[in-house]
Amino acid sequence: MGANRSASEVRKLAEAPLNFGKGSRACLYCKLVQTYEQFIDNGCGNCVTLNMKGDKDRVSELTTSNYSGMVSLLDGRASWVGKWLRLDTCVPGCYALSLHSSTSIR
């Protein structure tokens, strides 16, 4: 069917640079995925008021490593994914599709 070439192209595109292993965490409020260190260094790009930057306790408390799925958002306003996930006002980055945190947001 001549699908060999397109199949390999698809594979190449699908091979996203996901160096997100154990160390990655998702913000409980906006689902932004970063590594633990990134949350400590930069805080959450959307939830500045949570003051996670430089605060290990708050990062541990307000993010979770227990999430599934991930989308990359380059421009939320131009992306259907951004609209679908209501991320159109969020900073570009990677976002979790769903969180499985046992800690509820109060």
Q: Which residues form the interface with Zn ion (CB under 5 A)?
A: 27, 29-30, 32, 44, 46-47
Q: Per-residue b/e over 49-74, b at no fewer than 16 CB within 10 Å?
A: ebebeeeeebbeebbbbebeebbebe
Least distance from C-beta 50 to Zn ion, angstroms?
7
Shortest distance, position 59 Cβ to Zn ion, whole Å: 11
C-beta nearest to Zn ion: residue: 27
Distance CA 39, CA 15 (A): 25
The kind and range of the H/E element at 22 are: none
Residue 53's φ and ψ, nearest 5 degrees, are -55, 120
Name the minimum Å distance from CB 13 to Zn ion: 28
Nearer to Zn ion, 47 or 81 (CB): 47
Nearer to Zn ion (CB atom), residue 4 or residue 104: 104
Q: Which C-beta is closer to Zn ion: that of 5 or that of 99?
A: 99
Length of the chain: 106
